[in-house]
A and B are shown apart, each in its own frame.
Chain A
Amino acid sequence: QSALTQPASVSGSPGQSITISCTGTSSDVGGYNYVSWYQQHPGKAPKLMIYEVSNRPSGVPDRFSGSKSGNTASLTISGLQAEDEADYYCSSYTSSSTLGVFGTGTKVTVL
């Protein structure tokens, strides 16, 4: 199965809002409300930031929010902070695999 498509990079200044897109198909993102988002700092393990499209695990700041429209899911970071600089990956359940599929990854730079 093909990876979900994300922009390679997104940048913003501290305090600004940025949005990362994650585009799939009706067989994955568009067909199910099982989209997750992960944050990964260099040399570290991924951290779950959003699950089931828009739910935040305990401890994740409410600056992070998720949404979905059609075959595209989005992660928005409001009030961007220096510590938000990291790689971000989306993931979705897919009917073509019993495991799911990850996105191509987006590097977020805080200017």
Chain B
Amino acid sequence: QITLKESGPTLVKPTQTLTLTCTFSGFSLSTSGVGVGWIRQPPGKALEWLALIYWDDDKRYSPSLKSRLTITKDTSKNQVVLTMTNMDPVDTATYYCAHTGTPRSGMDVWGQGTTVTVSS
């Protein structure tokens, strides 16, 4: 059974850096085709792609947020970490991590999400 769980601060101040960790089980990020992505959803708004990392360390980023994002993986710890710099109140959202077993074929298992508020 594949599970993912997001963790990180619930409140960050403007200009600070956000670090979120996705801890997963039930699969290996060393297996060909597997990827873990981050998606966010501001309150009452649509889903938005942030970043995705594949088994071969191929990394993909949202073009509009690329300069602020870094995604890394620790295969031995079964974790994927997302950092987002220069946080702003508009970054207030629920942040999800999710699994894909085949590139481009959809995110088939999602974490429960973690809510991050950006406020001074």
Contacts of B112 in A (CB 8 A): 45
Size class of B's contact patch? 20 to 34
Q: List 9 A–B pairs whose Cβ atoms lie within 8 Å, in order of A's numbering.
A: A1-B63, A34-B105, A46-B107, A47-B110, A51-B105, A51-B108, A52-B106, A89-B47, A97-B49
A52 to B105, CA, bound (A): 6
> Do residues A93 and B104 form an inter-chain contact, with CB atoms below 8 A?
yes
Using a CB–CB cutoff of 8 Å, the interface residues on chain B facing chain A are 37, 39, 46-49, 51-52, 60-63, 96, 98, 104-113
Please measure, in the bound complex, the distance between the C-alpha atom of A89 and the C-alpha atom of B107, giving whole angstroms.
12
Determine chain A's interface SS by DSSP, over half rule. strand
Q: Given A48-B107, A57-B108, is A100 in contact with B49 using a C-beta cutoff of 8 Å?
A: yes
> Are the C-beta atoms of B52 and A36 separated by less than 8 Å?
no
CB pair B106–A91 under 8 Å, yes or no, is yes
Known contacts A45-B96, A98-B61: does B51 contact A105 (CB below 8 Å)? no
